[in-house]
Structure 1
Amino acid sequence: MAGQTIRIQAADGSGSFGAYLALPPGGSGPGIVLAQEIFGLNEFVRQTADHYAEEGYVVIAPDLFWRQQAGVELGYSEAEWQQAFKFFQGFDLDKGVEDMGAALQALRARPEFVGKAGVLGFCLGGMLAFMSACRLDVDVAVGYYGVGMEHKLDEAAHIRGRLLLHFAEADGYCTAEARATIMQALQQRPRSELYVYPGVDHAFARPASPHFDKAASLMAHQRSVAAFKAELGPHYDFSALWDKHCEHEFASRDVDATMATMVAQPYVNHIPTMTGGVGHDALKRFYKYHFVNSNPPDTRLIPISRTIGATQIVDELLFCFTHSCEIDWMLPGVKPTGRAVQIPLVAIVKFRGDKLYHEHIYWDQASVLVQIGLLDPAGLPVAGMETAHKLLDEKLPSNGLMARWSNSQGQPL
């Protein structure tokens, strides 16, 4: 945890309460007030604050149970669940929204804060994010599986900013009937986005939850960050950042410079061969001994297309080389064959703030094996360098691997 504890004065003059403050690497930026689950200001909340700080935000996570008991920080044992529900049952929603407002005021008063502000919340915090959108001056509100929103929809007319809500299809705390009511009231509202994640349950975005769903969590996070960036910024030149990373990998072949373009704990996954590394030390070892200095001297990357999103880049390119040395990451254990290889390759590169967070790299390994002579394509639905040629010239013949293609010749269309 890189954050610090601060104090915030309550708006009603009843005292002050603690909050966790996380600052972005650049030292300043737009802001987010993060509303907790029913388990208090615990490790999940602090980690979430730290991650959004890495994205470029000044994040304040207030202790929202302070009016009952200051410093509540619960885990997920059965006894702690019972404690959490008692705090939830004793929670004053109106005062909670007031405290969110005080946290927003404190956020805007900080010297690190620049620009606009939003709110983010989970569970109880999801409801508070919605209510903050209704009652407070926020530019964007993002709520995960909020509880009780169907009872406050009469306040939705007061929402001025962007609203993004995530729902779990199997959520027993927000039933299908409640969700339908919310959808009917909000989905036609301008600048509202409502997403339902099929087959998942409440708390699907919390790693410690028995209902944690990695795929749904990733998709929801991408949508959340996209909403915050659209309304608040910050905006980074992902294209230039990725180009610089590739320059260090393939041109200067500088491992330290390559690592410096990435977050503190990045990862790389070459999907076909499952090579790469998770975390700084494992990835640096991979880069130093099995990638950056292990590619053939004539390696070339030929760009075909690039799609730039709110959180990531998708690069389509041709990866070209002569198999003049052993390539641990692509052809582990295969001795050099001296053959030329050209393969279409797709890189999906995720960022946190202005640093690379991870890379997912895809290519057709069968095509590589055909081109170096380790796989006989006869009778198999695979091709060699032809796949690269057709990427550059779409008019080259299609369906050559389909034995039944001729059967449809002359058939009615």
Structure 2
Amino acid sequence: MGGTTIRISGSGDRIFNGYLALPPAGSGPGLILCQEIFGVNAHIREVADRYAEEGYVVLAPDFFWRQVQGCELEPDEQGMQAALTLLEAFRDDEAVEDLQAALALLRERPEVTGGCGVIGYCLGGKLAYLAAAHTDAAVCVGYYGVGIEHLVDRADTLRSKLVLHFAGNDAHCDEPARAKIFAALGQRDGVSLYVYRGVDHAFARFGSPHFDKSASVLAHDRTIGALRRALGPHYDLEALWERHLQLEFETRDADATMQTMVAEPYVNHIPTMTGGVGYASLRRFYQYHFIHANPPDTRQVSISRTVGATQIVDEILFCFTHTSEIDWLLPGIPPTGRPVEIPLVGIVKFRGDKLCHEHIYWDQASVLVQIGLIDAARFPVAGIEAARKVMDETLPSNTLMKRWSESERLGR
């Protein structure tokens, strides 16, 4: 993907730039992306492109245009000093004017269908809060905003749904500052506040020394959930997942399967660490080690399915007869001819209407018991009984616990 630079009409007939990124479908709800203190640099453009992949028409205005046009700083010591100098002349009320101008332009774009929201990071996190108080955006999301504690008097004028993400170790918004914010906002309808313990400022900026993957992923899921509820777009994730499964297990077409995924997806079968990262590696895996490697009698029985804003958790019973070598499940093990039934859980993440990644889990010990490579009598593991109990919870529990009979006697 790749966006374009457009012109935005500001106050006093002044013109400033913004970076516009369009979704793959060409249209969608609007989203203003408010920059960090380093300007609309390569990182912010990449973030805009990523939200565009989620289905939004994204506009990242240059909020430093009054100080210097086209500011692009690196998040290093030199860039930090330059940014702090620019902030000395930065005025919140002027930035709100720019936000309103950007929102007005975005709504006029023919690509924008539906409402508009605002999201921002660092300086932009504060601007997202101000947008919730001073604009008619449908939803505003701020990441580790700096200075919000000095603006809590604006809480009474909130007009938008508001989500704020805070870093637990953030010296720029420390515990007393967060306490002030939570006291002012915490009990208000339409406001969601999250603190990510043990992480620091810029935990969601990939490449930052403070980047934290788990916190970033959780915050992103919460963000997309809020955007979807307020703005859309609403994708039928179940239908997308079912189509992917059909191409894998029925049509058995690697290229068509890859077309259901983002440009650089990944799949990780956790117990055997099989799969692939990136298009080329994953296509090779699908073509030569997965799609055509499953036994002909392979079948999947649905147990449960949970559908969220960005992902599906699928619980199934995976059944087959081990009549061929299965590279992804039993690499290097010749066929044993034995039937196998295993509970399997897949966590399937989407970006927009494309699969982004899959994490697949199962009990490998149970598989090895069922094909005769582990003697269940020697270890606390179960074979096909584990699958049977998933389907029928009334079957006996605690059969591997040698002391279970003793507690029955002692409990009387």
Answer whether TM exceeds 0.5 for this pair. yes
Cα separation, 2, equivalents of 1:153 and 1:77: 31
**Where do 1:122-161 residues align within 5 Å?**
122-161=121-160
- TM-score (norm. length: structure 2): 0.98
How far residue 411 of structure 1 moved from its aligned partner, in angstroms, is 4.4
Give the corresponding residue for 1:4: 4
What secondary structure sits across from 2:305 in the alignment? Answer: strand
Give the corresponding residue for 2:38: 39
How far residue 374 of structure 1 moved from its aligned partner, in angstroms, is 1.0
Question: Are positions 1:195 and 2:194 aligned together?
Answer: yes
How far residue 49 of structure 1 moved from its aligned partner, in angstroms, is 0.8
**Where do 1:237-256 residues align within 5 Å?**
237-256=236-255
Cα separation, 1, equivalents of 2:133 and 2:293: 56
Cα separation, 1, equivalents of 2:331 and 2:140: 47
How far residue 379 of structure 1 moved from its aligned partner, in angstroms, is 2.9
Identity over the aligned pairs, expressed in percent? 62
Give the corresponding residue for 1:231: 230
Aligned residues: 412
How far residue 88 of structure 1 moved from its aligned partner, in angstroms, is 2.3
Cα separation, 1, equivalents of 2:171 and 2:319: 52
Question: Are positions 1:68 and 2:67 aligned together?
Answer: yes
Give CA-to-partner distance per residue, 1:213-243, whole Å, 9 cap, x none: 0000000000000000000011011111100
What secondary structure sits across from 1:13 in the alignment? Answer: helix
Q: CA RMSD in A?
A: 1.1
Cα separation, 1, equivalents of 2:198 and 2:22: 35
Give CA-to-partner distance per residue, 1:183-234, whole Å, 9 cap, x none: 0110100011100001001000001211110000000000000000000011
Cα separation, 2, equivalents of 1:46 and 1:378: 58
Stretch moving more, 93-102 or 198-207: 93-102
What secondary structure sits across from 1:369 in the alignment? Answer: helix
Give the corresponding residue for 1:83: 82
How far residue 17 of structure 1 moved from its aligned partner, in angstroms, is 0.9
Amino acid at match of 1:308: V
What secondary structure sits across from 2:70 in the alignment? Answer: coil
Give CA-to-partner distance per residue, 1:71-128, whole Å, 9 cap, x none: 1111122212211222223211111111111111111010000101110000000000
What secondary structure sits across from 2:171 in the alignment? Answer: coil
Cα separation, 2, equivalents of 1:379 and 1:351: 42
Cα separation, 2, equivalents of 1:243 and 1:253: 13
Give the corresponding residue for 2:404: 405
How far residue 274 of structure 1 moved from its aligned partner, in angstroms, is 0.9
- TM-score (norm. length: structure 1): 0.98
**Where do 1:322-401 residues align within 5 Å?**
322-401=321-400
Give the corresponding residue for 2:220: 221
Give the corresponding residue for 1:307: 306
Give the corresponding residue for 2:206: 207
Cα separation, 2, equivalents of 1:156 and 1:77: 34
What secondary structure sits across from 2:69 in the alignment? Answer: coil
Amino acid at match of 1:39: F
Amino acid at match of 2:74: G
What secondary structure sits across from 1:173 in the alignment? Answer: helix
Give the corresponding residue for 1:281: 280
Cα separation, 1, equivalents of 2:271 and 2:173: 40
Amino acid at match of 1:220: A
How far residue 410 of structure 1 moved from its aligned partner, in angstroms, is 4.5
Cα separation, 2, equivalents of 1:122 and 1:277: 32
Cα separation, 2, equivalents of 1:233 and 1:103: 20
Specify every segment of 5 or more residues in structure 1 that has no aligned partner in the other structure, as ranges: none
Amino acid at match of 1:363: W
Amino acid at match of 1:177: P
Give the corresponding residue for 1:178: 177
* Contact map agreement 2:134 2:159 (CA 8 A) in 1: no
What secondary structure sits across from 1:296 in the alignment? Answer: coil
Stretch moving more, 156-165 or 132-141: 156-165
* Contact map agreement 2:135 2:159 (CA 8 A) in 1: no
Cα separation, 2, equivalents of 1:234 and 1:275: 33
Cα separation, 1, equivalents of 2:126 and 2:166: 12
Amino acid at match of 1:387: A
